Amino acid sequence: MKFAGKVAVITGSGRKQGLGEAIARRLSEEGATVVIADIGGSRDSATPDAMIGAEAEMREVAESMPGAASTFSCDVRDPDQVRALAAHAVAAHGSLDIWVNNAGIGYIMKPLGEVSADDWRAVIDVNLTGAWFGLQAAAEIMIAQRKGGRIVNIASQAAKSGFPHAQAYTASKHGLVGLVRSASIELGAHGITVNNVCPNHVTTGLGKWQNEHFAAVQGISVEQYLKNMAARIPLGRPGLPEDTANAVAFLCSTEASYITGESMNVSGGEEPH
């Protein structure tokens, strides 16, 4: 129970079988009290119902956790809502020790010439600016608590390499690399570590949509697309949610207390740098 007495906020964790849920469950299994945070409902065309965690599903996720959990609806594009989420963790559970920026848009994928200004802004606003708001809000509380803390961003293999139809997504994830490199320098003196986890493809609900999208782009079946993917991964399979969750748990543990400013690959060897 390495996280007993710790309180963890995980954004974008309100969908069943999603990456955020897996991270929350892994931390909860080790004793953390978790805050299941998601947008709660569609706000605009960039946040369709099929791709976000609604309040009812958030509650179901929280109730499925092995330990104590609460929910909080938060649009990470709004700094006031993000600060309110951080304040909720302290008010409801007495502390804020771990913050995981997991919320992201990975479903706006278009050829370069078809990407609109609104598309670009939506992805950057959630994936990069939303992570910045979370980091800032968490750091403020952690500094005031004077007991250190852990901040982890869920980046992507796209933080290291480019992909077609993913210009905004790739740019946003590359931006997280620079963000942790700078933030880790400033926060190190307070005992706060800041790191990225960079998974390759994970077939969650969003991952299933990506499989179908890119298989159609290439003119092949989803089955063939997945076979081709597995063939280029040294360990022979795409990632599982638990692979990323285990990496997050490590970075949040005392064993990783001397690791900060890093972008850790969790890619089965597909992404070597």
Residue numbers annotated as active site? 169
CA distance linking residue 46 with residue 62, whole number of Å: 25
**Nearest Cα to 103, choosing from 18, 220, 200?**
18
HEC letters along 86-136: HHHHHHHHCCCCEEEECCCCCCCCCCHHHCCHHHHHHHHHHHHHHHHHHHH
Using CB atoms within 10 Å of the CB of residue 234, give its burial: 0 to 12 exposed, 13 to 18 middle, 19+ buried: exposed
Q: Are strands 149-154 and 69-73 parallel, antiparallel or unpaired?
A: unpaired
For the chain, the residue count is: 273
Q: Which SS3 state, helix, strand or coil, does residue 180 take? A: helix
One-letter amino acid identity for 154? I
CA distance linking residue 13 with residue 67, whole number of Å: 15
CA distance linking residue 267 with residue 273, whole number of Å: 11
Longest Cα–Cα distance in the chain: 55
Contacts of 180 (CB under 8 A, 6+ apart): 153, 194, 195, 196, 260, 261, 262, 263
